[in-house]
Amino acid sequence: MNARFLLFLLAATLPLAAQPALDTPFQSGMVLQRDAQVKLSGRAAPDSPVSIAWRGQRLETRADARGRWQHRLDIGAATTEGCTLRVQDREGNTELRDILAGDVWLASGQSNMEFLLGRSTGGAALSEAMQDPALRLLRVRHLLPTGPGSYSPEQYRAAERSDFFRFEWVRATPEELRDFSAVGAVFAHELRRAEPGVPIGIICNAVGGSGMESWTPRRVIDRAPLYARIRGERWQRSPDYDAWMRGRAEENLRRVREAGIARPLHAFAPSVLYEYAVAPLTALPIKGVIWYQGESNADEPDTARNAERLRLLIAAWRRAFGQKELPFIMVQLPRIADPKRPHWGAFRTAQKQVADALPGVELICTVDLGSSTREVHPPDKAPVGRRLAATALRCVYGQDQPRYPVLHTAARRPQGMLLRSTEPLRSTDGAPPRGFELADAPDAVFRPATAELRGDTILLQGEGRVWRYNEGTALEPNLVGAESGLPVFPARSYGADDARSAKGS
Note whether 308 and 268 are same-domain residues.
Answer: yes
What pLDDT score does 98 carry? 98
Tell me what pLDDT residue 415 has. 85
Residue 505 lies in a domain: no
* SS3 call for 368: coil
Mean pLDDT of all residues in 75-83: 98
Pair 168, 309 in one domain: yes
Q: Quick: pLDDT tens for 191-248.
A: 999 999 999 999 999 999 999 999 999 999 999 999 999 999 999 999 999 999 999 9
User: What is the average pLDDT across 394-404?
Assistant: 97
Q: What is the number of structural domains in the chain?
A: 3
Residues 59 and 132 in one domain: no
Cβ partners under 8 Å of residue 215, min gap 6: 108, 273, 274, 278, 293, 313
- pLDDT value, residue 18: 61
- 375 and 350 within one domain: yes
Verify that 167 and 204 share a domain, yes or no. yes
Q: What is the DSSP letter of 370?
A: B
Per-residue pLDDT, 499: 43
The model's pTM is 0.94
- Cα 385 to Cα 94, 140, 379, 503: the distances in Å are 37, 19, 12, 21
DSSP letter assigned to residue 274: I
Final residue before a domain boundary, out of 356, 375, 395: 395
If asked whether residues 195 and 213 sit together in one domain, one would say yes
| Contact partners, residue 303, CB within 8 Å, separation at least 6 | 346, 347, 349, 350, 353
Q: For the residues 113-138, what does the mean pLDDT come to?
A: 98
Closest CA to 31 of 203, 206, 289: 203
Residue 433 has pLDDT above 90, yes or no: yes
> Torsion angle, CA of 226/230/235/238, rounded to 10 degrees?
-70
212 located within any domain:
yes
Which residues constitute the domain of residue 385?
Answer: 103-395
- Compute the distance between CA of residue 83 and CA of residue 80 in angstroms, rounded to an integer: 9
User: Max CA-CA distance within the chain?
Assistant: 108
3-state secondary structure 374-413: CCCCCCCCHHHHHHHHHHHHHHCCCCCCCCCCCEEEEEEE
Each residue of 337-377: pLDDT tens digit? 999 999 999 999 999 999 999 999 999 999 999 998 999 99
Pairing of strands 457-461, 450-454: antiparallel
CATH number at residue 387: 3.40.50.1110
- What element of type H or E holds 222? helix 218-223
**Is residue 402 assigned to a domain?**
no
Q: Which among 427, 421, 401 is positioned nearest to 505, based on CA atoms?
A: 401
Length of the chain in terms of residues written: 505
Do 117 and 85 share a structural domain? no
pLDDT, mean of residues 287-312: 97
Beta bridge partners of 105: 202, 288
Q: What is the pLDDT of residue 500?
A: 46
Per-residue DSSP letters for 434-456?
--EEEESSTTS--EE-EEEEETT
Boundary residue ending a domain (66, 101, 136):
101
Please indicate, yes or no, whether residues 97 and 113 belong to a single structural domain of this protein: no
In angstroms, how far is CA 106 from the centroid of its own chain?
A: 6
Residues 95 and 177 occupy one common structural domain: no
**Residues with Cβ within 8 Å of residue 47, at least 6 apart in sequence:** 62, 63, 64, 65
In a domain, residue 400? The reply is: no
Tell me what pLDDT residue 503 has. Answer: 52
